[in-house]
Amino acid sequence: MNHKLTDGGHVMQVGTLARVEGEGAMHIELRDGRVTDVRLRIYEPPRFYEAFLRGRAWTEPPDITARICGICPVAYQTSACWAIEDACGVAVPEEVRLMRRLLYCGEWIESHALHVFLLHAPDFLGYDGAIEMAADHPDVVETGLRLKKAGNDLMRVVGGRSIHPVNVRVGGFYRMPLAVELQTLRPTLVRALEDAVETVRLVAGFDVPDFEQPYEYVALRAPEGYPIEVGSVVTSSGRSFEVRDFATHVEELHVAHSNALHARLDGGDRGPYVVGPLARYTLNHDRLSPLARQAAADAGLGDTCRNPFRSIVVRAVEIVEAVSEVLRIVDGWTDGAAPSVAVPPRAGEGFGASEAPRGVLFHRYVLDADGLIRDAQIVPPTSQNQAGVEADLRRLVEGWTGLDDHALQHRCEQAIRNYDPCISCATHFLDLTVDRR
Amino acid sequence: MSRPKLAVWKFASCDGCQLTLLNCEDELIPLAGEVEIAYFPEATRAVVEGPYDLSLVEGSITTPGDLERIEQVRRASRRLVTIGACATAGGIQALRDFADVDEFRSIVYAHPEYVETLGQSTPVAAHVPVDFELRGCPIDRGQLLEVLSAEIQGRAPRIPRHSVCFECKRRGTVCVTVAHGTPCLGPVTQAGCGALCPAYERGCYGCFGPQDTPNTASIAARLRRDGMAEDEVLRVFRTFNAGAEAFRRESVRHEAGAGVGRGRKGEP
């Protein structure tokens, strides 16, 4: 909806953003070609996870926090497990870390394929949605659905189901999948790798505007490999810190127009910071597998990517990376490792982070001696990216005042989808004001 | 005959149940031929005006605005099917229903005046008539397709109301309680997941909510005998279907022993 203001200004509003996970709206005000107000308004109702986690047992956060997001439950389960294990002073064996990485790769494939093909590609090819797109580009939609299904199939084998997997526990897994079960996925995975490389080629050809942005990038970096299930924090300005120091570097601010908190790094001295595929790629490009690195080079990506409209290309490269990793882990898997280690509770504080498909997801828990949770803090990627999304919208509108309203509005929606915002994730942690009836 | 118009609505939820529709990778395109996807913001910008032949509703009612919106959705829908534990039982966010008001007050928040919310998280059926409730956290893909097929064909969906135990037997899974003494809510929980947890050597945790004749007191006694404390028994009934009546009642029964809570707010 667009309308003129009596003082000559101009307002552009989208009441319900489509093809994002959760409920959000966009509000932009212009006066004399200058943007006077930009708000990504998140009206998804808060669900108060951090409040009701208090008093729950140390064993429960993997199942409970999974329900923050149906699209990236494994991210929540993984960050929660690291944090609780940290609080209890337990280190899990290498096989558990590898199995976490395998399950997490399934989530990356499923979530990225969903976003690239069903939510984002229709913007570039000029359709309202993937179903409409399927009429003219059946092969594109079929490739996307096949890839998404490969990710879901992997999650089903390792986790029991793809949405809210049941096999994850603090300390590891309830049952270790067998090599023979993993091998049944091999034909699907080989096809998925071909599909993923083809996807990079497809999206590399999409038209994107020139829109390089200078934001500070924040991502994890692991001792080896591309960061997925674990790592410590690095930034594009050269800062680095341990996950346990995350909350001292990142400050969360509650703004009036949104039910998600905004995040600020080190007092905001470098403006908004951004997490997610662009940040991961820029800070870990050297860690990609040879096939993913080649796919990125063929797609024209350099050592860094600073145009959010090219995030779809980076997501596609990350699908190649995830499928390659899955094949590596599946082919190297031997049976016999214990599914989990005991995690006896103790009083203390623990921290955990992992790379959700949309970026760094941080958890912190304080436990008492019986293992009951005294305090919980969860910082999801979408709330960290909110300020960056708003800054993009501001620059975009000021740079393209020549576009007609319809085109401009569409481009703004696309700019929001560049970040694959997961609004259900972002809105879960505000504390409560009660309206009783 | 024109295709029936399908709408998908979201209230307080994680998106997982509507994602289940998009996870029907093999059926999605054929389904779009059988029904007109008229309103589904997660999937398309296109909006076809109501009324709708079938509305799928995900999520629980938690804000003053939701109260109005669910009425509008009902008015715009010939048939209304709720999907998932949030829409059918209030979801995990219904844990607020049991919270001690004083404890909530003691939690410090930056600007509570920015947030609008109700004191309880309630299922859709508490506010408007619902034609069918599909349970699960998340719902099962096969069951969703069965409900959609039934709605298209104008018949009753074949969704069993018996316990998870039947599914373990059918699957050939050895009973985790009998064999290993693992606490399991399978006997009081509705089937539908395919008895996933026992197949992964874990007890059922009740994410499909109570079956049609749940003997929760008997299971609670068994959990106590297997070594669970009162507060642990309370918590296993108080998760994703905490607001479902049979689970709610059983959890309240253990409040005194656990030394917490005062039942659902508003009750004497």
Residues of chain A with pLDDT under 70: 1-8, 12, 43-44, 255-261, 424-437
Q: Which two tokens stand for residue A182?
A: 């993993």
Q: Does A256 touch chain B if contact means CB atoms closer than 8 Å?
A: yes
- Tokens 């005998």 belong to residue: B225
Q: Within 13 A of B38's CA, how many CA atoms are on the CB side? A: 20
35-74 of A, contacting B, C-beta below 8 A: 44-49, 51-52, 54-57, 60, 63-64, 67-71, 73
pLDDT given for residue A422 in this prediction: 77
On the question of pLDDT at B247 being above 90, the answer is: yes
To the nearest whole Å, the CA of A240 is away from the closest chain B CA by 29
Nearest to residue A58, comparing CAs of A82, A92, A91, A94?
A82
pLDDT given for residue A123 in this prediction: 93
B62 and B103 part of one domain: yes
> Does residue B253 lie in a domain region?
yes
Contact between chains at A432 and B115 (C-beta distance less than 8 A): yes
pLDDT given for residue B96 in this prediction: 85
Q: Which residues form the domain of B230? A: 164-258
B24 and B116 part of one domain: yes
A52 vs B15, B46, B99: nearest CB:
B99
Q: What's the mean per-residue pLDDT of chain B?
A: 91
pLDDT given for residue A173 in this prediction: 98
pLDDT, one tens digit per residue, over B15-44 is 999 999 999 999 999 999 999 999 999 898
Q: Which string of DSSP letters, residue by residue, matches A300-349? A: T--S----GGGHHHHHHHHHHHHHHHHHHHHHH--S---SB------SEE
Nearest to residue A122, comparing CAs of B42, B55, B8, B28?
B42
**What CATH number is associated with residue B113?**
3.40.50.700
The stretches of A114-229 forming alpha helices (DSSP H) are 121-125, 130-136, 138-159, 179-183, 186-204
Q: Does A178 touch chain B if contact means CB atoms closer than 8 Å?
A: no
Nearest to residue B181, comparing CAs of B233, B236, B231, B223?
B223
State the DSSP code for A215: P
pLDDT given for residue B261 in this prediction: 55
> Does residue B60 lie in a domain region?
yes
Nearest CA in chain A to B195: A160
> Does residue B265 lie in a domain region?
no
pLDDT given for residue B108 in this prediction: 36
Topology given in CATH for the domain delimited by A50-387? Cytochrome-c3 Hydrogenase; chain B (1.10.645)
pLDDT given for residue A263 in this prediction: 80
State the DSSP code for A372: B
Measure the N-to-C terminal CA separation of chain A; round to a whole number of Å. Answer: 33
> Does residue B264 lie in a domain region?
no
Count of beta carbons in the 10 Å neighbourhood of residue B238: 26
Provide φ and ψ at A102, rounded to 5°: -65, -50
pLDDT, one tens digit per residue, over B209-219 is 999 999 999 99
Measure the N-to-C terminal CA separation of chain B; round to a whole number of Å. Answer: 55
> Does residue B158 lie in a domain region?
no
Last residue of one domain, picked from the residues B123, B153, B183 = B153
B123 and B250 part of one domain: no
pLDDT given for residue B263 in this prediction: 44
Q: Does B251 touch chain A if contact means CB atoms closer than 8 Å?
A: no
Determine the Cα–Cα distance for residues A387 and A261; give it in Å rounded to an integer: 10
pLDDT given for residue A30 in this prediction: 79
Contact between chains at B197 and A56 (C-beta distance less than 8 A): no
259-298 of A, contacting B, C-beta below 8 A: 259
- Which is higher by pLDDT, B62 or A433? B62
pLDDT given for residue A432 in this prediction: 31
By the 10 Å C-beta count (0-12 exposed, 13-18 middle, 19+ buried), B156 is classed as exposed
B146 and B14 part of one domain: yes
Q: Does B11 touch chain A if contact means CB atoms closer than 8 Å?
A: yes
pLDDT, one tens digit per residue, over A200-210 is 999 999 999 99
Q: Are B144 and B128 in contact (CB under 8 A)?
A: no
Contact between chains at A129 and B46 (C-beta distance less than 8 A): yes
Q: Does B25 touch chain A if contact means CB atoms closer than 8 Å?
A: yes
Q: Which two tokens stand for residue B117?
A: 């919310």
pLDDT given for residue B102 in this prediction: 43
Determine the Cα–Cα distance for residues A304 and A289; give it in Å rounded to an integer: 16
B22 and B116 part of one domain: yes
> Does residue B263 lie in a domain region?
no
Q: Are A260 and A423 in contact (CB under 8 A)?
A: yes
B110 and B18 part of one domain: yes
Positive or negative CA dihedral for B117, B118, B120, B122?
Answer: negative
Q: Are B201 and A338 in contact (CB under 8 A)?
A: no
Length of chain A: 437
To the nearest whole Å, the CA of A302 is away from the closest chain B CA by 32
- Tokens 């003494």 belong to residue: B181
B10 and B142 part of one domain: yes
- Domains of chain A by residue range: 2-45+388-426, 50-387
A433 vs B40, B99, B115: nearest CB:
B115
Last residue of one domain, picked from the residues B119, B153, B187 = B153
Q: What's the structural domain count of chain B?
A: 2
Q: Does B184 touch chain A if contact means CB atoms closer than 8 Å?
A: no
Last residue of one domain, picked from the residues B153, B179, B205 = B153
Predicted TM-score of the model (pTM): 0.94
Contact between chains at B202 and A73 (C-beta distance less than 8 A): no
> Does residue B198 lie in a domain region?
yes
